[in-house]
Structure 1
Protein backbone atom coordinates (compact mmCIF):
# COMPACT_ATOMS: atom_id res chain seq x y z
CA UNK A 1 0.00 0.00 0.00
CA UNK A 2 1.31 3.44 -0.94
CA UNK A 3 1.87 6.19 1.63
CA UNK A 4 2.24 9.96 1.27
CA UNK A 5 5.92 9.30 0.49
CA UNK A 6 4.76 7.83 -2.84
CA UNK A 7 2.89 10.97 -3.90
CA UNK A 8 4.57 11.24 -7.31
CA UNK A 9 3.72 7.62 -8.13
CA UNK A 10 0.14 8.19 -6.99
CA UNK A 11 -0.11 11.32 -9.16
CA UNK A 12 1.18 9.41 -12.18
CA UNK A 13 -1.33 6.60 -11.59
CA UNK A 14 -4.13 9.12 -11.13
CA UNK A 15 -3.24 10.92 -14.36
CA UNK A 16 -3.23 7.65 -16.30
CA UNK A 17 -6.54 6.59 -14.80
CA UNK A 18 -8.18 9.90 -15.65
CA UNK A 19 -6.80 9.80 -19.20
CA UNK A 20 -8.22 6.32 -19.63
CA UNK A 21 -11.62 7.84 -18.87
CA UNK A 22 -11.12 10.75 -21.28
CA UNK A 23 -10.14 13.33 -18.65
CA UNK A 24 -6.87 15.13 -19.29
CA UNK A 25 -4.98 16.53 -16.31
CA UNK A 26 -1.36 17.63 -16.04
CA UNK A 27 1.07 15.96 -13.67
CA UNK A 28 1.12 19.14 -11.55
CA UNK A 29 -2.65 19.13 -11.27
CA UNK A 30 -2.60 15.50 -10.18
CA UNK A 31 0.03 16.26 -7.54
CA UNK A 32 -2.31 18.93 -6.14
CA UNK A 33 -5.16 16.38 -6.04
CA UNK A 34 -2.99 13.82 -4.27
CA UNK A 35 -1.97 16.41 -1.66
CA UNK A 36 -5.63 17.13 -0.96
CA UNK A 37 -6.30 13.41 -0.58
CA UNK A 38 -3.76 13.39 2.24
CA UNK A 39 -5.52 16.29 3.94
CA UNK A 40 -3.12 19.06 2.91
CA UNK A 41 -3.81 22.36 1.19
CA UNK A 42 -1.53 21.88 -1.81
CA UNK A 43 1.48 20.09 -3.26
CA UNK A 44 3.94 22.56 -1.68
CA UNK A 45 2.83 21.48 1.79
CA UNK A 46 2.99 17.80 0.93
CA UNK A 47 6.39 18.19 -0.75
CA UNK A 48 7.73 19.83 2.40
CA UNK A 49 6.37 16.99 4.54
CA UNK A 50 7.97 14.42 2.27
CA UNK A 51 11.34 16.16 2.40
CA UNK A 52 11.24 16.48 6.20
CA UNK A 53 10.23 12.86 6.67
CA UNK A 54 12.89 11.61 4.26
CA UNK A 55 15.52 13.65 6.08
CA UNK A 56 14.51 12.22 9.47
CA UNK A 57 14.36 8.72 8.05
CA UNK A 58 17.90 8.96 6.69
CA UNK A 59 19.33 10.17 9.99
CA UNK A 60 17.60 8.33 12.81
CA UNK A 61 17.07 4.67 11.98
CA UNK A 62 17.01 2.57 15.12
CA UNK A 63 19.26 -0.49 15.15
CA UNK A 64 17.38 -3.76 14.78
CA UNK A 65 18.06 -6.34 17.50
CA UNK A 66 20.13 -9.30 16.33
CA UNK A 67 17.94 -12.03 14.84
CA UNK A 68 15.02 -9.69 14.11
CA UNK A 69 13.77 -8.30 10.81
CA UNK A 70 11.13 -5.96 9.44
CA UNK A 71 7.99 -7.36 7.85
CA UNK A 72 7.95 -6.98 4.06
CA UNK A 73 5.37 -4.17 3.96
CA UNK A 74 6.88 -2.09 6.76
CA UNK A 75 8.06 1.31 5.52
CA UNK A 76 10.96 2.79 7.49
CA UNK A 77 10.19 6.20 6.07
CA UNK A 78 6.97 6.05 8.11
CA UNK A 79 8.12 4.07 11.18
CA UNK A 80 11.19 4.05 13.40
CA UNK A 81 11.72 0.46 14.51
CA UNK A 82 14.40 -1.20 16.59
CA UNK A 83 16.18 -0.98 19.91
CA UNK A 84 15.21 1.94 22.14
CA UNK A 85 18.33 4.08 22.49
CA UNK A 86 17.21 5.34 25.91
CA UNK A 87 16.23 2.03 27.52
CA UNK A 88 18.36 -1.14 27.30
CA UNK A 89 16.36 -4.30 26.70
CA UNK A 90 13.43 -2.40 25.16
CA UNK A 91 12.26 -2.50 21.55
CA UNK A 92 10.38 0.44 20.05
CA UNK A 93 8.13 1.18 17.09
CA UNK A 94 7.18 4.82 16.51
CA UNK A 95 5.31 6.53 13.69
CA UNK A 96 7.34 9.42 12.32
CA UNK A 97 4.20 11.43 11.53
CA UNK A 98 2.13 12.93 14.32
CA UNK A 99 -1.62 13.45 14.22
CA UNK A 100 -1.10 17.21 14.04
CA UNK A 101 1.30 17.05 11.10
CA UNK A 102 -1.48 17.14 8.52
CA UNK A 103 -0.47 13.76 7.08
CA UNK A 104 -3.25 11.20 6.65
CA UNK A 105 -1.80 7.70 6.86
CA UNK A 106 -3.40 4.87 4.89
CA UNK A 107 -5.67 2.85 7.18
CA UNK A 108 -3.46 -0.22 6.75
CA UNK A 109 -0.18 1.43 7.75
CA UNK A 110 1.73 -0.98 9.98
CA UNK A 111 5.16 -1.07 11.55
CA UNK A 112 6.14 -4.70 12.21
CA UNK A 113 9.28 -6.27 13.66
CA UNK A 114 9.37 -10.07 13.56
CA UNK A 115 11.13 -13.41 13.72
CA UNK A 116 10.44 -16.69 11.89
CA UNK A 117 11.32 -20.14 13.21
CA UNK A 118 10.74 -23.74 12.23
CA UNK A 119 7.66 -25.35 13.78
CA UNK A 120 9.10 -28.87 13.94
CA UNK A 121 10.11 -28.83 17.65
CA UNK A 122 6.73 -27.35 18.66
CA UNK A 123 4.22 -29.51 16.77
CA UNK A 124 1.23 -30.72 18.83
CA UNK A 125 2.16 -28.33 21.63
CA UNK A 126 0.46 -25.21 22.97
CA UNK A 127 2.68 -22.14 22.87
CA UNK A 128 2.50 -18.78 24.56
CA UNK A 129 3.99 -15.45 23.47
CA UNK A 130 3.85 -12.72 26.09
CA UNK A 131 5.33 -9.28 26.64
CA UNK A 132 4.97 -6.04 28.52
CA UNK A 133 3.85 -3.16 26.29
CA UNK A 134 3.63 0.58 26.87
CA UNK A 135 2.15 3.05 24.39
CA UNK A 136 1.95 6.74 23.63
CA UNK A 137 -1.06 7.95 21.58
CA UNK A 138 -1.15 4.66 19.66
CA UNK A 139 -3.92 3.69 17.26
CA UNK A 140 -3.26 0.02 18.08
CA UNK A 141 -0.19 -1.72 19.51
CA UNK A 142 0.18 -5.44 20.04
CA UNK A 143 2.26 -8.55 19.82
CA UNK A 144 1.27 -11.21 17.27
CA UNK A 145 1.90 -14.85 16.40
CA UNK A 146 1.09 -16.97 13.33
CA UNK A 147 1.47 -20.68 12.55
CA UNK A 148 1.83 -21.62 8.86
CA UNK A 149 1.78 -24.78 6.78
CA UNK A 150 4.60 -25.50 4.35
CA UNK A 151 2.87 -23.75 1.44
CA UNK A 152 2.25 -20.61 3.45
CA UNK A 153 -1.34 -21.42 4.42
CA UNK A 154 -2.21 -19.82 7.74
CA UNK A 155 -3.19 -22.43 10.33
CA UNK A 156 -3.40 -20.25 13.44
CA UNK A 157 -3.14 -16.48 13.84
CA UNK A 158 -3.67 -13.87 16.54
CA UNK A 159 -2.59 -10.23 16.34
CA UNK A 160 -4.94 -9.11 19.15
CA UNK A 161 -6.58 -6.44 16.97
CA UNK A 162 -10.00 -8.11 16.88
CA UNK A 163 -10.20 -9.20 20.50
CA UNK A 164 -13.08 -7.99 22.64
CA UNK A 165 -10.98 -8.10 25.82
CA UNK A 166 -7.24 -8.19 26.55
CA UNK A 167 -6.61 -6.95 23.03
CA UNK A 168 -4.32 -4.42 21.44
CA UNK A 169 -3.43 -1.31 23.42
CA UNK A 170 -4.84 2.00 22.19
CA UNK A 171 -4.02 5.51 23.29
CA UNK A 172 -1.49 5.99 26.07
CA UNK A 173 -0.79 3.14 28.49
CA UNK A 174 1.78 2.32 31.14
CA UNK A 175 3.46 -1.09 31.05
CA UNK A 176 0.75 -3.69 30.43
CA UNK A 177 1.12 -7.45 29.99
CA UNK A 178 -0.37 -9.08 26.90
CA UNK A 179 -0.33 -12.76 25.94
CA UNK A 180 -1.09 -14.91 22.91
CA UNK A 181 -1.68 -18.68 23.16
CA UNK A 182 -1.83 -20.87 20.06
CA UNK A 183 -1.81 -24.62 19.50
CA UNK A 184 0.58 -25.89 16.83
CA UNK A 185 -0.93 -28.54 14.52
CA UNK A 186 1.11 -31.51 13.37
CA UNK A 187 1.07 -30.10 9.81
CA UNK A 188 2.73 -26.82 10.85
CA UNK A 189 5.96 -25.87 9.10
CA UNK A 190 6.83 -22.44 10.49
CA UNK A 191 5.99 -20.05 13.31
CA UNK A 192 6.17 -16.27 12.97
CA UNK A 193 5.81 -13.69 15.75
CA UNK A 194 6.67 -10.14 16.64
CA UNK A 195 5.56 -6.61 17.48
CA UNK A 196 2.99 -4.52 15.62
CA UNK A 197 1.99 -0.86 15.60
CA UNK A 198 -0.97 0.18 13.47
CA UNK A 199 -1.24 3.84 12.48
CA UNK A 200 0.00 6.72 14.59
CA UNK A 201 1.73 6.81 17.96
CA UNK A 202 4.46 4.68 19.48
CA UNK A 203 4.93 1.48 21.45
CA UNK A 204 7.69 0.02 23.61
CA UNK A 205 8.07 -3.69 24.40
CA UNK A 206 10.11 -5.53 27.03
CA UNK A 207 10.22 -8.92 28.76
CA UNK A 208 9.18 -10.78 25.61
CA UNK A 209 8.89 -14.53 26.25
CA UNK A 210 8.08 -17.52 24.03
CA UNK A 211 7.51 -21.08 25.17
CA UNK A 212 5.16 -23.73 26.49
CA UNK A 213 1.77 -22.39 27.61
CA UNK A 214 0.44 -23.27 31.03
CA UNK A 215 -2.29 -25.90 31.05
CA UNK A 216 -5.01 -23.49 32.17
CA UNK A 217 -4.33 -20.81 29.57
CA UNK A 218 -7.05 -20.71 26.89
CA UNK A 219 -6.12 -20.57 23.22
CA UNK A 220 -6.50 -17.03 21.84
CA UNK A 221 -6.55 -17.88 18.11
CA UNK A 222 -8.81 -15.09 16.91
CA UNK A 223 -8.67 -13.01 13.76
CA UNK A 224 -7.11 -15.68 11.56
CA UNK A 225 -8.27 -17.63 8.51
CA UNK A 226 -9.28 -20.64 10.61
CA UNK A 227 -11.38 -20.85 13.74
CA UNK A 228 -10.45 -23.31 16.44
CA UNK A 229 -13.91 -24.94 16.19
CA UNK A 230 -17.26 -24.39 14.43
CA UNK A 231 -18.64 -21.05 15.56
CA UNK A 232 -22.10 -19.42 15.59
CA UNK A 233 -23.69 -22.04 13.33
CA UNK A 234 -27.18 -20.90 14.37
CA UNK A 235 -26.44 -17.25 13.48
CA UNK A 236 -27.58 -16.20 16.93
CA UNK A 237 -25.00 -13.48 17.56
CA UNK A 238 -23.83 -10.54 15.47
CA UNK A 239 -20.27 -9.29 15.09
Structure 2
Protein backbone atom coordinates (compact mmCIF):
# COMPACT_ATOMS: atom_id res chain seq x y z
CA UNK A 1 0.00 0.00 0.00
CA UNK A 2 2.79 2.41 0.93
CA UNK A 3 4.62 1.71 -2.34
CA UNK A 4 1.47 2.40 -4.35
CA UNK A 5 0.78 5.58 -2.41
CA UNK A 6 4.33 6.82 -3.02
CA UNK A 7 3.90 5.98 -6.72
CA UNK A 8 0.93 8.36 -6.96
CA UNK A 9 -1.79 5.72 -7.32
CA UNK A 10 -5.14 7.42 -7.88
CA UNK A 11 -7.06 5.01 -5.64
CA UNK A 12 -6.00 2.04 -3.50
CA UNK A 13 -8.39 -0.73 -2.51
CA UNK A 14 -7.06 -3.30 -0.03
CA UNK A 15 -8.56 -6.72 -0.81
CA UNK A 16 -8.30 -8.78 2.39
CA UNK A 17 -10.34 -12.01 2.13
CA UNK A 18 -9.35 -13.01 5.68
CA UNK A 19 -8.86 -10.11 8.09
CA UNK A 20 -6.35 -11.29 10.69
CA UNK A 21 -6.59 -10.32 14.35
CA UNK A 22 -10.37 -10.05 13.95
CA UNK A 23 -11.03 -11.94 17.18
CA UNK A 24 -9.14 -9.31 19.16
CA UNK A 25 -11.90 -6.74 18.75
CA UNK A 26 -12.34 -5.81 22.43
CA UNK A 27 -10.61 -5.99 25.80
CA UNK A 28 -11.78 -9.14 27.58
CA UNK A 29 -9.23 -8.65 30.35
CA UNK A 30 -6.86 -5.90 31.54
CA UNK A 31 -3.65 -5.03 29.69
CA UNK A 32 -4.44 -6.64 26.35
CA UNK A 33 -4.44 -4.91 22.94
CA UNK A 34 -7.38 -4.39 20.61
CA UNK A 35 -5.40 -5.67 17.64
CA UNK A 36 -8.24 -5.44 15.13
CA UNK A 37 -8.40 -1.68 15.69
CA UNK A 38 -4.61 -1.41 15.43
CA UNK A 39 -4.58 -3.24 12.08
CA UNK A 40 -7.40 -1.01 10.80
CA UNK A 41 -5.39 2.07 11.76
CA UNK A 42 -2.23 0.71 10.09
CA UNK A 43 -4.06 -0.05 6.83
CA UNK A 44 -5.69 3.38 6.80
CA UNK A 45 -2.49 5.23 7.69
CA UNK A 46 -0.56 3.34 5.00
CA UNK A 47 -2.84 4.94 2.43
CA UNK A 48 -5.70 2.56 1.57
CA UNK A 49 -8.83 4.33 0.32
CA UNK A 50 -11.14 1.35 0.64
CA UNK A 51 -11.17 -2.18 2.09
CA UNK A 52 -12.81 -5.27 0.63
CA UNK A 53 -13.04 -8.20 3.02
CA UNK A 54 -15.14 -11.28 3.73
CA UNK A 55 -16.96 -12.72 6.77
CA UNK A 56 -15.46 -10.64 9.55
CA UNK A 57 -15.52 -12.35 12.94
CA UNK A 58 -17.54 -9.38 14.19
CA UNK A 59 -19.29 -7.02 11.78
CA UNK A 60 -18.62 -4.10 14.12
CA UNK A 61 -14.96 -4.19 13.06
CA UNK A 62 -16.05 -2.15 10.04
CA UNK A 63 -16.39 0.76 12.46
CA UNK A 64 -12.67 0.57 13.29
CA UNK A 65 -11.91 1.97 9.83
CA UNK A 66 -12.29 5.61 8.80
CA UNK A 67 -12.57 4.56 5.16
CA UNK A 68 -15.29 2.61 3.31
CA UNK A 69 -15.38 -1.13 4.05
CA UNK A 70 -17.18 -3.57 1.75
CA UNK A 71 -17.97 -6.59 3.90
CA UNK A 72 -18.89 -9.57 1.72
CA UNK A 73 -20.25 -12.92 2.89
CA UNK A 74 -19.46 -16.40 1.60
CA UNK A 75 -23.13 -17.28 2.11
CA UNK A 76 -24.03 -17.54 -1.63
CA UNK A 77 -21.09 -19.87 -2.29
CA UNK A 78 -21.87 -22.16 0.66
CA UNK A 79 -25.62 -22.15 -0.01
CA UNK A 80 -25.10 -23.12 -3.65
CA UNK A 81 -22.98 -26.11 -2.61
CA UNK A 82 -25.41 -27.18 0.11
CA UNK A 83 -28.40 -26.99 -2.22
CA UNK A 84 -26.60 -29.06 -4.87
CA UNK A 85 -25.43 -31.57 -2.30
CA UNK A 86 -28.87 -31.89 -0.78
CA UNK A 87 -29.74 -32.93 2.74
CA UNK A 88 -33.17 -33.86 4.01
CA UNK A 89 -34.21 -33.20 7.63
CA UNK A 90 -31.48 -30.57 7.95
CA UNK A 91 -30.76 -28.66 11.16
CA UNK A 92 -28.36 -25.71 11.06
CA UNK A 93 -26.40 -25.53 14.31
CA UNK A 94 -24.50 -22.53 15.66
CA UNK A 95 -21.48 -23.73 17.70
CA UNK A 96 -21.83 -20.75 20.05
CA UNK A 97 -24.17 -17.89 20.91
CA UNK A 98 -22.10 -15.42 18.88
CA UNK A 99 -22.88 -17.18 15.62
CA UNK A 100 -26.65 -17.42 16.07
CA UNK A 101 -27.47 -14.61 13.65
CA UNK A 102 -25.38 -16.23 10.90
CA UNK A 103 -26.91 -19.67 11.53
CA UNK A 104 -30.45 -18.26 11.65
CA UNK A 105 -30.01 -16.55 8.27
CA UNK A 106 -28.68 -19.81 6.80
CA UNK A 107 -31.52 -21.85 8.25
CA UNK A 108 -34.07 -19.42 6.84
CA UNK A 109 -32.58 -19.60 3.34
CA UNK A 110 -32.49 -23.41 3.51
CA UNK A 111 -35.91 -23.67 5.18
CA UNK A 112 -34.23 -25.72 7.89
CA UNK A 113 -34.49 -25.89 11.67
CA UNK A 114 -32.08 -24.05 13.98
CA UNK A 115 -30.17 -25.26 17.05
CA UNK A 116 -27.59 -23.60 19.29
CA UNK A 117 -24.70 -25.07 21.27
CA UNK A 118 -24.14 -23.55 24.69
CA UNK A 119 -20.42 -23.61 25.47
CA UNK A 120 -18.06 -22.14 28.02
CA UNK A 121 -14.67 -20.72 26.99
CA UNK A 122 -12.09 -21.68 29.62
CA UNK A 123 -9.17 -19.97 27.90
CA UNK A 124 -7.73 -19.20 24.44
CA UNK A 125 -8.65 -22.03 22.02
CA UNK A 126 -10.14 -24.00 24.94
CA UNK A 127 -13.90 -24.52 25.11
CA UNK A 128 -16.31 -26.99 26.67
CA UNK A 129 -19.76 -27.86 25.31
CA UNK A 130 -22.44 -27.59 27.97
CA UNK A 131 -25.79 -28.13 26.23
CA UNK A 132 -27.60 -28.17 22.89
CA UNK A 133 -30.63 -25.91 22.57
CA UNK A 134 -32.80 -27.50 19.90
CA UNK A 135 -33.58 -30.96 18.51
CA UNK A 136 -30.96 -32.80 16.44
CA UNK A 137 -32.10 -36.38 17.13
CA UNK A 138 -32.34 -38.33 13.87
CA UNK A 139 -31.53 -35.22 11.81
CA UNK A 140 -28.74 -34.20 9.44
CA UNK A 141 -26.70 -31.47 11.13
CA UNK A 142 -24.79 -28.60 9.52
CA UNK A 143 -22.44 -26.86 11.97
CA UNK A 144 -21.87 -23.31 10.75
CA UNK A 145 -19.05 -20.96 11.82
CA UNK A 146 -16.96 -18.16 10.37
CA UNK A 147 -13.62 -19.93 10.89
CA UNK A 148 -11.90 -23.10 12.04
CA UNK A 149 -8.77 -22.38 14.05
CA UNK A 150 -7.67 -25.31 16.24
CA UNK A 151 -10.98 -27.08 15.41
CA UNK A 152 -11.75 -27.64 19.10
CA UNK A 153 -15.11 -25.85 18.96
CA UNK A 154 -16.33 -27.51 15.76
CA UNK A 155 -15.18 -31.03 16.76
CA UNK A 156 -16.69 -30.79 20.24
CA UNK A 157 -19.90 -29.47 18.72
CA UNK A 158 -20.03 -32.34 16.24
CA UNK A 159 -19.45 -34.88 19.00
CA UNK A 160 -22.19 -33.32 21.13
CA UNK A 161 -24.65 -33.49 18.22
CA UNK A 162 -23.73 -37.12 17.53
CA UNK A 163 -24.29 -38.00 21.19
CA UNK A 164 -27.73 -36.38 20.95
CA UNK A 165 -28.64 -38.71 18.08
CA UNK A 166 -27.72 -36.73 14.95
CA UNK A 167 -27.79 -38.93 11.85
CA UNK A 168 -24.95 -37.15 10.02
CA UNK A 169 -22.83 -34.14 11.01
CA UNK A 170 -20.92 -31.89 8.65
CA UNK A 171 -19.51 -28.39 8.93
CA UNK A 172 -19.44 -25.23 6.85
CA UNK A 173 -16.89 -22.49 7.60
CA UNK A 174 -15.50 -19.58 5.59
CA UNK A 175 -11.92 -19.28 6.87
CA UNK A 176 -9.77 -22.45 7.26
CA UNK A 177 -7.12 -21.14 9.67
CA UNK A 178 -6.34 -24.75 10.72
CA UNK A 179 -3.65 -24.06 13.30
CA UNK A 180 -2.00 -26.52 15.68
CA UNK A 181 -3.83 -29.86 15.96
CA UNK A 182 -6.76 -28.79 13.75
CA UNK A 183 -6.17 -31.21 10.87
CA UNK A 184 -5.71 -34.23 13.12
CA UNK A 185 -8.80 -33.33 15.12
CA UNK A 186 -10.91 -33.05 11.98
CA UNK A 187 -9.65 -36.35 10.60
CA UNK A 188 -10.37 -38.19 13.85
CA UNK A 189 -13.76 -36.53 14.42
CA UNK A 190 -17.25 -37.79 13.63
CA UNK A 191 -17.64 -35.09 10.97
CA UNK A 192 -18.57 -36.49 7.57
CA UNK A 193 -17.36 -33.46 5.62
CA UNK A 194 -15.92 -30.01 6.35
CA UNK A 195 -16.72 -27.38 3.72
CA UNK A 196 -14.45 -24.32 3.67
CA UNK A 197 -13.50 -21.59 1.19
CA UNK A 198 -10.17 -20.49 -0.24
CA UNK A 199 -9.92 -17.19 1.64
CA UNK A 200 -6.80 -18.76 3.19
CA UNK A 201 -4.61 -20.97 0.93
CA UNK A 202 -4.22 -24.55 2.18
CA UNK A 203 -0.89 -26.35 2.24
CA UNK A 204 -0.32 -29.73 0.62
CA UNK A 205 -1.17 -31.79 3.70
CA UNK A 206 -4.39 -29.88 4.25
CA UNK A 207 -5.38 -30.23 0.60
CA UNK A 208 -5.00 -34.01 0.87
CA UNK A 209 -7.34 -34.27 3.85
CA UNK A 210 -10.29 -36.38 2.58
CA UNK A 211 -12.79 -34.60 4.83
CA UNK A 212 -12.00 -31.09 3.55
CA UNK A 213 -13.97 -29.67 0.64
CA UNK A 214 -12.70 -26.28 -0.60
CA UNK A 215 -15.01 -23.87 -2.43
CA UNK A 216 -13.75 -20.84 -4.35
CA UNK A 217 -14.89 -17.32 -3.49
CA UNK A 218 -12.82 -15.88 -6.36
CA UNK A 219 -15.85 -15.17 -8.60
CA UNK A 220 -17.57 -13.28 -5.78
CA UNK A 221 -14.48 -11.22 -4.94
CA UNK A 222 -13.76 -10.70 -8.64
CA UNK A 223 -17.24 -9.30 -9.25
CA UNK A 224 -16.85 -6.94 -6.29
CA UNK A 225 -13.45 -5.75 -7.55
CA UNK A 226 -14.88 -5.13 -11.02
CA UNK A 227 -17.78 -3.11 -9.64
CA UNK A 228 -15.53 -1.05 -7.37
CA UNK A 229 -13.18 -0.32 -10.29
CA UNK A 230 -16.13 0.71 -12.47
CA UNK A 231 -17.66 2.72 -9.60
CA UNK A 232 -20.81 0.59 -9.65
CA UNK A 233 -22.91 -0.46 -6.66
CA UNK A 234 -21.82 -3.57 -4.75
CA UNK A 235 -24.89 -3.65 -2.51
CA UNK A 236 -26.43 -6.67 -4.24
CA UNK A 237 -23.35 -8.75 -3.34
CA UNK A 238 -23.96 -8.38 0.40
CA UNK A 239 -26.54 -11.20 0.46
TM range, smaller chain? under 0.3
Return the index of the structure with the highest Cα Rg: 1
Higher strand residue share = 1
Output the TM-score relative to the length of structure 1.
0.26
With normalisation by structure 2, the TM-score equals 0.26
Structure with greater proportional helix content: 2
- Greater RCO structure (CA 8 Å; 6+ sep): 1
